[in-house]
A and B are shown apart, each in its own frame.
Chain A
Amino acid sequence: MNELILIKYGEIALKGLNKGSFEDILLRNIRWRMRDMGHFKLRKAQSTIYLEPSDCDTFDFEEAIDRLTKIFGIASISRALVVEKTLAAVLREVCAYLELQLSMVRTFKVETRRSDKQFPMKSPEISAEVGGEILSHFPGIKVDVHNPELIVNVEIRDFGAYIHAGSIAGAGGMPVSSSGKAMILISGGLDSPVAAYMMAKRGLALEAIHFVSPPYTSDRALQKVETLCEKLVPYTGSIKFHCVPFTEIQEAIKEHCPEELFTVIMRRLMMKIATTICKESDIKALVTGESLAQVASQTLDALYCTDNSTDLVVLRPLIGMDKTEIIKIAYQIDTYETSILPYEDCCTVFTPRHPRTKPKLYFVEKAESGFDFAPLLEQAVRDTVCKTITL
């Protein structure tokens, strides 16, 4: 029995002259994710990628499909039987291949797509023939064209005919790195991993930056953030992880700036450090998990002050989302349980009792100018530790 996986892409198919390069990126991403899955061939035709294992008996289709559902740029995935491109071959194989599925339902219909217009029969004729064949083998079931329990798919394509019992939805979006690269500011809370996921979905490759303040934060908190990155890698690909020592800067803010401006100044200095590191490798955007009005540092006035500290594009994919919506995605990508572990992170320790919710840029800049942060920022960039988080 000769099976393969049909991988169909959505949005890329609509692109114009860039389509070819997007396809190549998607192929590269699939190949990377499947690199330890044994020998297989990938080929593309008609907005579909054909993943053909060399040995179908040993290939782990379920694992492969699970991995594919996490690769952005894919609209749907089907495991299908390959048959010779003749009606006789389709009729000969269809009942045996889908025996299990057909024996568990009461109604079905056949859907045929004929992208090879050279094939002598039209789609409805093929469907009728296949439907008849199935009815003669499974007398207990009926055809229901409106609301069938099972759809038997027959696809007549360039390289052959394919039979399958429907497809699984892919992750959608654009292939990672087709839109360039950005830096996610990741804290260990619920929001930033979800923000990373959402921007990866739009085709961004990611590096991550995390600020540590020992002893205010622990190795366990750092470990937690690394675990979150590991959980993101199936979606985002490898993540270059920058760990910035931040203790002295936080202590300096605490000592030299007004308490109510602590958070906004801290956010600005984090953005400045991130910007410096981005410029070293030509990264043009920062990604944050901010959601408008969620906390004091995420009001419009606070975001205005924060944005003023960088000239990079600041992407905030969660800006219009409620916490419940964010949590839903966190569950879906399996970061929720890790995010809620109770270790101190650098944002919680110094939190002022009454943060200014409408900070004015003029006062913030004036407060910052009371102390020369530049040497500390340079030092932090120099002492940043880098590692690659991958599978």
Chain B
Amino acid sequence: MEIYLDNCATTRVCDEAVQACIKAMTLDYGNPSSLHKKGMEAEEILRETRRTAAGILGCDANLLTITGSATESNNLAILGAAAAYPRAGKTIVTTSVEHASVTNAVRHLAENGYNIRFVNPRSDGNFHPQDFLDAVDEDTFLLSMMMVNNEIGTILPWQTVIPALRKKYPKLLIHMDAVQGFAKYPLNVKRLDLDLLSLSGHKIYAPKGVGMLYCKKGIRLKPIVFGGGQENGLRSGTQAVQLAAGLTEAMRLCQQNRAAFETHYQMLNARLRDKIAGMDRIFINSPENGAPHLLNISVIGVPSEIMLHFLESKGIFVSSGSACSKGAKSEVLKAYGFPEERIRSALRISFSKDNTLEDIDLLSEALIEGAARFRRMTGA
């Protein structure tokens, strides 16, 4: 039995995407930069990827760059913008709950003379729009905020923050890391007037190794990788056509079923919340109004890793925070102000289109069994 509930880390590639990858590797295997027909066919695959993403984001397909990951997209957005606007302000505003690829990119800029201001959630666990307005000033050249937090699922208040900042600081660059929300929840980059947006394929049933970056018309970026000048010079290196082909199919699937998938996540989420409500000292760390495709919980008295491996022994796969940090204590949960015993025992359960209510019920039973067994051992 395998119950995979770590879909914020990565997802199983959907069959349509697998078929598209195989086709691109065996039939349309040309180099998209080649002049001949084989090359043009491969290039068409990339165009289709951009068109599909553009359809979801509500933008012009030419404004999308295909990258190797959302980490790369975030780096290109932040470092590329800083390099392109050397005379702009020297302050960057971001949040304390960003993915490491944003946090470490801005830290790198901090070493080169930029001031970094972190917006924190308030004690109620929510971000308040006013805190963003207070953090940004005339010297701020970039705001980078995520769409949905990857560890607890908070939906950040970009819907109010961005229009307000636009009005007050028309020159401010606004970047969004949309990895955990893209193709799951509605988002229109044009209406929101975003400058930069990063997305990833493997969180939405596409293969690992492909991401994209949206960059608004008129916004300049300097590349961070140099070479043959592919992707309008922004991202040199032969494009991974087969991964892009997979991404196209995955995006199509998510777009066609967006509402149904969201309802499905909501159903699973509600079931798990319901089950946990009746459990002894198991708390939900995710906010009530968070993104439904994940739920962060704490089984008080049982360190995350122990419960994770116990669940694993039953064929149930969850995460102890974000998979990218491989076991390190969560800085994000700390930023949200959770007490130590909640952080030590936090688990992230994240759903896919393929999970069932039965999966949730089996997880719930296992949580109860594990809690009883390990609390006895740890004396909690």
Q: Is B227 an interface residue (CB 8 A)?
A: no
Question: Distance in Å from the Cβ of B187 to the closest Cβ of chain A?
Answer: 35
Q: Is B379 an interface residue (CB 8 A)?
A: yes
**Which of A259, A343, A349 lies at the interface centre, i.e. has the most chain B CB atoms within 10 A of its CB?**
A349
Alpha-carbon distance A215/B377, docked complex (angstroms): 12
Residue pair A349, B303 in contact (C-beta under 8 Å):
yes
Question: Distance in Å from the Cβ of B363 to the closest Cβ of chain A?
Answer: 15
Q: Is A342 an interface residue (CB 8 A)?
A: yes
Question: Distance in Å from the Cβ of B333 to the closest Cβ of chain A?
Answer: 15
Known: A218-B305, A254-B377, A259-B379. A342 touches B328 (CB 8 A): yes
Q: Is A144 an interface residue (CB 8 A)?
A: no
Residue pair A344, B306 in contact (C-beta under 8 Å):
yes
Question: Distance in Å from the Cβ of A371 to the closest Cβ of chain B?
Answer: 15
Alpha-carbon distance A220/B305, docked complex (angstroms): 11
Considering the complex, give the chain A residue whose CB is closest to the CB of B325. A342
* Contact residues on B (Cβ < 8 Å of other chain), bracket: 10 to 19
Q: Is B309 an interface residue (CB 8 A)?
A: yes
Q: Is B44 an interface residue (CB 8 A)?
A: no
**Chain B 40-80 near chain A by CB (<8 Å), digits 1 or 0:** 00000000000000000000000000000000000000000
For the residues of B in contact with A, the DSSP-based class is helix
Q: Is B313 an interface residue (CB 8 A)?
A: yes
Residue pair A215, B312 in contact (C-beta under 8 Å):
yes
Q: Is B283 an interface residue (CB 8 A)?
A: no
Q: Is B310 an interface residue (CB 8 A)?
A: yes
Q: Is B228 an interface residue (CB 8 A)?
A: no
Known: A215-B309, A216-B309. A344 touches B328 (CB 8 A): no
Q: Is B327 an interface residue (CB 8 A)?
A: yes
**Which of B303, B308, B326, B327 lies at the interface centre, i.e. has the most chain A CB atoms within 10 A of its CB?**
B327
Please provide the chain A residues from 341 to 366 with a CB less than 8 Å away from any CB of chain B in the complex. Answer: 341-344, 349-350
Q: Is A378 an interface residue (CB 8 A)?
A: no
**Chain A 246-260 near chain B by CB (<8 Å), digits 1 or 0:** 000001001100010
Residue pair A216, B306 in contact (C-beta under 8 Å):
yes
Residue pair A343, B305 in contact (C-beta under 8 Å):
yes
Question: Distance in Å from the Cβ of A251 to the closest Cβ of chain B?
Answer: 6
Please provide the chain B residues from 360 to 380 with a CB less than 8 Å away from any CB of chain A in the complex. Answer: 376-379
Residue pair B377, A251 in contact (C-beta under 8 Å):
yes
Q: Is A160 an interface residue (CB 8 A)?
A: no
With a CB–CB cut-off of 8 A, which chain B residues contact A344? 303, 305-306
Residue pair B327, A343 in contact (C-beta under 8 Å):
yes
Question: Distance in Å from the Cβ of B50 to the closest Cβ of chain A?
Answer: 38
Please provide the chain A residues from 210 to 263 with a CB less than 8 Å away from any CB of chain B in the complex. Answer: 214-218, 220, 251, 254-255, 259
Alpha-carbon distance A341/B312, docked complex (angstroms): 21
With a CB–CB cut-off of 8 A, which chain B residues contact A255? 376
With a CB–CB cut-off of 8 A, which chain A residues contact B308? 215, 218
Question: Distance in Å from the Cβ of B6 to the closest Cβ of chain A?
Answer: 14
Alpha-carbon distance A216/B306, docked complex (angstroms): 5
Alpha-carbon distance A214/B373, docked complex (angstroms): 13
Please provide the chain B residues from 298 to 330 with a CB less than 8 Å away from any CB of chain A in the complex. Answer: 303, 305-310, 312-313, 326-328
With a CB–CB cut-off of 8 A, which chain A residues contact B310? 215
**Chain A 326-352 near chain B by CB (<8 Å), digits 1 or 0:** 000000000000000111100001100
With a CB–CB cut-off of 8 A, which chain A residues contact B327? 220, 341-343
**Which of A215, A220, A255, A350 lies at the interface centre, i.e. has the most chain B CB atoms within 10 A of its CB?**
A215
Alpha-carbon distance A254/B22, docked complex (angstroms): 53
**26 A-B pairs, CB-CB below 8 angstroms?**
A214-B309, A215-B307, A215-B308, A215-B309, A215-B310, A215-B312, A216-B306, A216-B377, A217-B309, A218-B305, A218-B308, A218-B309, A220-B326, A251-B377, A254-B377, A255-B376, A341-B327, A342-B326, A342-B327, A342-B328, A343-B305, A344-B303, A344-B305, A344-B306, A349-B306, A350-B378
Q: B residues engaging A (CB < 8 A)?
A: 303, 305-310, 312-313, 326-328, 376-379
